[in-house]
Amino acid sequence: MPRDLSDVLHFFLPELGGDLESPPGHARPFARERAATGAAPGRRSLPAREIGTRRLPLSVLGVPIGERDVVHAAYTWNLARETVRLGGASAIVTPLTDRDSPLWSAHDPAGATDVEVVYSTADDLAGLRRHAERVARERGRTAGGGIVFTRIPPAWLADTPPEDEKPDGDGRRRLDDAIRWLLVFTSARPREIDAVFERIQRWVRGRPGLEIGVTVHGVHGIEEAREAFDGLARGCDERLRLPLASYGLLVDDLELYRSIAAGRPMHEADRDAPAARSLTDVARLLYEDARSRVLG
């Protein structure tokens, strides 16, 4: 799991500014981490030959998205589509209350046969997690693995975790229904960075071991994204003892707005545009991390 934005910059575009060519011998962050430790932190990895042949369950990725947050929902839908284009399987699990909301209807999910939107009757985080896990196991019948993107109402994360999501008597974390892996979107605006930190501070309370990755969107260059991520990561490290992972950056929100208006994925407009290419790179980072996770 990449720790810093600098670990993933070599995935991104020369058009964003700076020389992004990897120096000789520079390994991809996943390969470098596993070469040093034998596995990604806190999880068991599979040999490359086994990953290529074994039928893997999908990984469950929680994405905190508000009920009117159409922008972050659109990025999530596009990342799900990109996961499929990269060779994985994908689905979106979301509360039943979203059925009549604009979050997913703007993308015409009924016509997207490769990414199903699954509406869950769960009314709390543990129930939503269990539903997402069932979808992950049902869809995980291909060798490529993949991701179940799970829309979590932010208020559900702020609630006190139920007993089955807390550490047990000897301090070990019970993972049956716990949320384990989150993706958080943020812009580079200082006010939003501060708000994201405050939300993360509430979310991690009572949830030791929660892994959070961040994607910075709407930036014009790498330095803008680096400064935003580094400030957030430093605050989480120093004040919460929480290491954040970087899942890169997304450029040019205007292209996203156009795709929302057209009801089509971003890559269909111009696959070589910086916005579409950065989306593919973020999806690749998430997909490779998902393939390194083995559900029990």
Q: Phi-psi category of 144—alpha, beta or left, where left has phi over 0 and alpha has psi -120 to 50?
A: alpha
User: 205 phi and psi, to 5 degrees?
Assistant: -60, 120
User: 214 phi and psi, to 5 degrees?
Assistant: -125, 135
Residue length, the chain? 296
Residue segments in the chain with a per-residue pLDDT below the cut of 70: 1-56, 105-113, 141-143, 160-177, 269-270, 294-296
Q: For residue 120, what pLDDT is reported?
A: 95
Tokens 């070469």, residue? 35
Q: For residue 215, what pLDDT is reported?
A: 96
In tens, the pLDDT along 79-113 reads: 999 999 998 999 999 999 998 888 886 655 445 56
**Burial classification of residue 165, based on how many CB atoms lie within 10 Å of its CB (0-12 exposed, 13-18 middle, 19 or more buried):** buried
Identify the structural domains of the chain with CATH numbers, from first to last: 5-44 (no CATH), 55-295 (3.40.50.300)
Q: What pTM, to 2 d.p., does this model score? A: 0.78
Reference 196, options 221, 179, 218, 213; nearest CA is: 213
